[in-house]
Amino acid sequence: MAALAAAGKVDLAFIRAQAPIILAAAPLTIFISIVSISIAVVFAVLGSLGRISRSAPIYALATLYVSLVRGTPLIVQILFVYLALPQFGIVLPALQTGILALAFNYGAYMTEIFRAGIQAVPRGQLDAAHALGMTDRDTLRRIVLPQALRIVTPAIGNEFIAMIKDSALVSIVGVQEMLFFARIIGSQKFRSFETFMIAALVYWILTMTFSFFQEALERRLAESDRRI
């Protein structure tokens, strides 16, 4: 970097001046990711229940959801929500569009994760719950889902870290997160190398930070399982 600066290829003063502007958008990136992953969990739970349903229409709908979303690019889904749905009178602001598209996309990918988590709950616990007179709904809510959520928590952490990076795609519809400012400032000042380098560094720091916390959570869950 010092060599590039000495050669006049990189403007360190420009980086120092513009970095705070791009960095100031990091909280919005984190907000988008947290809200999106929370909604995605709801989609994933519903999708996984549909995938194990004995009802043919429900199973078919859940399967179509997973296949359609996983078979199309996320950027197409974002643009579809933002540009195509208004033809049918459904107009969403840019931020809500980004959150909905991210949640809908990641919900499909996490559907199979939740399905595996639900099916990993021992069958004997379900039989015991039924023997105690619990309904299927109560068994699902009080026995199955809490254990399944614990099983899939590490996988949710991985998806959240991936979502932090994919959240950059919402800038294409005008959401003013980090990549938006990096692209705008870089193009205006003809210094895209510097601005994209700043954004890349911040994304890297965010992913490394959340990866650290995820690994700590996994170790804690593993220690808890051993005590059990």
What is the Cα–Cα distance from 42 to 86, expressed in whole angstroms? Answer: 25
What is the predicted pLDDT for the residue at 150?
81
Give the pLDDT of residue 226. 59
**Alpha-helix runs per DSSP H in the chain:** 2-6, 12-23, 26-51, 56-70, 74-79, 94-119, 123-131, 136-139, 145-166, 178-189, 192-227
What local confidence, expressed as pLDDT, does residue 7 receive? 46
Give the mean pLDDT of 164-186. Answer: 94
Q: CA-CA distance, 123 to 55, in Å (whole number)?
A: 20
pLDDT, residue 203, reads: 95
- Mean pLDDT to the nearest integer, 65-73: 95
Q: Which residue has the higher pLDDT, 126 or 20?
A: 20
| pLDDT score recorded for residue 76 | 96
- Domains of the chain with CATH codes: 11-227 (1.10.3720.10)
- How confident is the model over 195-211, as a mean pLDDT? 94
pLDDT of residue 180: 94
Residue 131 has pLDDT above 90, yes or no: no
Quote the mean pLDDT of the chain. 88
Residue 3 has pLDDT above 60, yes or no: no
Q: Which of 97, 45, 48 is nearest to 74 (CA)?
A: 97
d(CA 32, CA 103) in angstroms, rounded, equals: 10
Selected residue with higher pLDDT from 137 and 53: 53
What's the pLDDT band for 105 if we cut at 50, 70, 90?
Answer: very high
156 versus 123: the higher-pLDDT residue is 156
| pLDDT above 60: residue 211 | yes
Mean pLDDT calculated for residue range 2-28: 78
Share of the chain above pLDDT 90, in %: 63
Residue 161 predicted with pLDDT over 70: yes
Alpha carbon 130 to its chain's center: 35
pLDDT recorded at residue 65:
96
Assigned token pair, 175 = 């959401």
Cβ neighbours for 78, distance < 8 A, ≥ 6 positions apart: 97, 98, 101, 102, 169, 170, 172, 173
Contact yes or no for 158/214 (Cβ under 8 A): yes
The 10 Å Cβ neighbour count of residue 90 is: 9
Query: Which pLDDT score is estimated for 228?
Result: 53
Enter the pTM of the model: 0.87
Does 218 have pLDDT greater than 90? no
